[in-house]
Amino acid sequence: MLEQIYYIDKTIIFYIHTNFHSQLVNNIMILFTNLGNNSLIWITVAIILMYNKKTRYVGIITIIALLISTLLGEGILKNIIQRSRPSTDFSEINLLIHRLTSYSLPSGHTTTSFAAAYVLSRYLKKYSLIFWIIAGMIGFSRIYLFMHYPTDVLAGIILGVICGKIASIIYEKKINHQILS
């Protein structure tokens, strides 16, 4: 089973690498990956939201989601699973960004992006499509740039949405209850 998944992962990542690369797309993918570095875009959005009293709670929930997703994805799961990156497995590939030595599964960029996108789209429905597109582009950029296998990104999507839901529940059940009490 794992061999079949690896074969599918390898087929998809090499298909993308062979058929989608151009200078314009390279630049776009590097931009989206950089937006996801250290959750830069999501922390920025959360801070902006916290400046407005009406949206402060959305910023707080977003930060909670980012913390949970980072702890679970980067802190726990990557170290348990210890899957190598495609850039390590296929070191002959010329990379467009620097080679990472950390583990691959789940994709941290994708996990935090989908955690934030879940929270932001849940509470700011008007901008929902924008948040999901940005998260999706960040996730796809990780495959495109040979940093993650497709299943790393898929796992990041699932984990991110779960973390976003958990953060929303924590806020709504615990923190918001304490504020109102």
The pLDDT value given to residue 94: 75
- Quick: pLDDT tens for 128-154: 999 999 999 999 999 999 899 999 999
Structural domain boundaries enclosing 11: 2-180
The pTM (predicted TM-score) of the whole model is 0.90
User: For the chain, how many structural domains are there in total?
Assistant: 1
DSSP secondary structure letter of residue 171: I
Position 176 scores a pLDDT of 59
Angle at the Cα of 114 (from 129 to 81), degrees rounded to 5?
Answer: 155
Domain of residue 166, CATH code: 1.10.606.20
Task: Check residue 175 and give its pLDDT.
Answer: 65
Confidence of residue 24 (pLDDT cuts 50, 70, 90): very high
Query: For residue 86, is the peptide bond before it cis, meaning its omega torsion is within 30 degrees of 0?
Result: no
pLDDT in tens, 92-132: 777 777 777 788 899 999 999 999 999 999 999 999 999 99
How many residues does the structure list for the chain? 181
Confidence of residue 84 (pLDDT cuts 50, 70, 90): confident
